[in-house]
Amino acid sequence: MMENSYQVVIIDAWRGHYVETPDLETEILGPYARVSLLRVNSHHELVGQIENADVVISWHTVPLPAEIITRLQKCKGIVRAAVGFDNIDIVYAANRGIAVCNVPDYGTEEVADHTFALLLASVRRIKALDEHVRNGGWDWRTIGRVPRLRDTNLGIVGMGRIGTAVARRAQAFGMNVGFYDPYISDGMDKALCVRRFENLEELLINSQIISLHVPLSDETKHMIGRHEFKLMKNAILINTARGNLIDHTALIEALESDALSFVALDVLSDEPEIPFELRESDKVLLTPHVAFYSDAVMPELRRKAAQAALRFLLDQPQRCIVNGALLKTTR
C-alpha cells in the first residue's frame, strides 16, 4: 500500500468541538493516511464526505446510524473516541462487517475522582452550605443530619475499570463497598474485598449511596425507574455514566418522596436540556458532563483513538472491539 493511500475521517460536532485541528492524529497516522476533520451539526451533513473513509474516528454527539454506516464503501473500522459507544449502530456495523472499537481506559481516574467529588459534596451538603454562607449566614447547624462516611454502604452498579477505581477510593475512606455486575467473573469480590450483590434490587435496598458505572444499551436504558426508586430509602444517587440510565420522569417523582435524600448528576438524558424540576431542586447537584476531563485527558484520548485507527489500517489486532460477538455471527 502506497504512502498516504488511506483516508481517516474524524467526525466532531460544532457543539462538542473536541478537536481543534487534527495535529496529534496526523502525527500518528500521517505516514499511512490522509487525515481530515469533519465538523458538523448533524449526521446528515456527513453525506458525500464520508463514503471513502478507510477508518472513522467518532466523537461525542454526532450519531452514526445505519443510514450513514451503509454509505461507507471500504471502511476497515470505526473508532469511538470515548468509553461509551451508544451513538453508533454497532449491530448494523457488524452486519456490514465493520468492527467498532472504543477507548475504555482513558479518563478512568478522572471519572472516578469526579464521582467521589460528587459523593463528598452530596454527603457533606457542600452546595447548601456554600449558598448559606454567600447569603450572609454562618451557622454550622445548617448542615442538618449528616452520616459519617466511614461504614456508610456504597453500592456500585457496574464494576468495570471506573467502578473499580471508585471502589478503591471509597475503601480509602472506610466505606463498605458492594457492587452489582452480572458480567464480572466470580472472585472479583474476594480480590477487591467488596460485597457482591446477585441482583440490582438487593443492592438498592442495602445501599445508602448508589453510583452508576455501566454503558448505555437496550439492557441498561432506564435501569433506574419507578420500581427501583421505591426500593431506596433516603439514598444518595450519583450518575457519571449516561443520562438515560435513569428514567428522569421517575427521578423527579422520587425527589418529592423519601426515596432520595440527594442526587448528583454529571449526565442527563437530553443534555444540555435540563428539566426545570432538576434545575430548581435543592436536592440536586449538576455538572456539565465534565467527569471525564482533566488537562491530561484530551491528548491521551486523541492519541489512543489515533493508535486504534492505525491498528485498523495495518490490520493489527484490536484490543477493544465492542461488536466482536456480532461480527462473529455475520461472518
* % pLDDT > 70, the chain: 98
pLDDT at 190: 97
pLDDT in tens, 126-152: 999 999 999 999 999 999 999 999 999
Q: What does the pLDDT average to over 307-324? A: 95
Q: How far apart, in whole angstroms, are the C-alpha atoms of residue 113 and residue 119?
A: 10
The answer to whether 307 touches 27, Cβ cutoff 8 Å, is: no
Q: What is the pLDDT of residue 16?
A: 75
In tens, the pLDDT along 175-202 reads 999 999 999 999 999 999 999 999 999 9
Residues belonging to the chain: 331
Which fold does the domain 6-106+294-330 belong to in CATH? Rossmann fold (3.40.50)
Mean pLDDT, range 95-100, rounded to an integer:
97
Residue 310 confidence (pLDDT): 97
State yes or no: pLDDT of 331 exceeds 60: no
pLDDT tens per residue across span 222-257: 999 999 999 999 999 999 999 999 999 999 999 998
Dist CA 21 CA 37 (whole Å): 7
Sorted by where each begins, the domain ranges of the chain are 6-106+294-330, 108-286
**CA 148/CA 150 separation, integer angstroms:** 6
SS3 34: strand
| Confidence at 330, pLDDT banded by 50, 70, 90 | low
Residues sharing a CB contact under 8 Å with residue 40, sequence separation 6 or more, in sequence order: 11, 12, 13, 14, 46, 62
Q: For residue 283, give the 3-state DSSP assignment.
A: coil
Question: In 197-234, which positions are buried (b, 16+ CB within 10 angstroms) versus exposed (e)?
Answer: beebebbbeebbbbbbbbbbeeebeebbbeebbebbee
The pLDDT tens digits of the residues spanning 98-117 come to 999 999 989 999 999 999 99
Nearest to 26, CA basis, from 302, 325, 271: 302
Point out the residues that are catalytic.
Answer: 242, 271, 289
The CATH code for residues 108-286 is 3.40.50.720
Average pLDDT over residues 72-100: 95
Sequence-separated (6 or more) residues with CB below 8 Å from residue 2: none
- pLDDT at residue 3 greater than cutoff 70: no
Which long-range contacts (C-beta less than 8 Å, at least 24 apart) are formed by 173-177? 173/149, 174/149, 174/150, 175/149, 175/150, 175/151, 176/151, 176/152
Q: Give per-residue pLDDT as tens, 16-26.
A: 788 999 999 99
- Helix extents (H) in the chain: 23-29, 66-69, 90-95, 108-123, 126-134, 161-172, 188-192, 200-206, 226-230, 248-255, 276-280, 297-313, 324-330
| Intra-chain end-to-end CA distance of the chain, in Å | 25
Fold equal for 6-106+294-330 and 108-286: yes
Using pLDDT thresholds of 50, 70 and 90, give the confidence band for residue 4.
confident
Order of strands, sheet of 195-196, starting from the edge strand that comes earlier in the sequence: 195-196, 176-180, 153-157, 209-212, 235-239, 260-265, 284-286
pLDDT of residue 258: 82
pLDDT over threshold 50, residue 158: yes
pLDDT, residue 1, reads 46
Model confidence over 250-298: pLDDT tens digits? 999 999 988 999 999 999 999 999 999 999 999 999 999 999 999 999 9
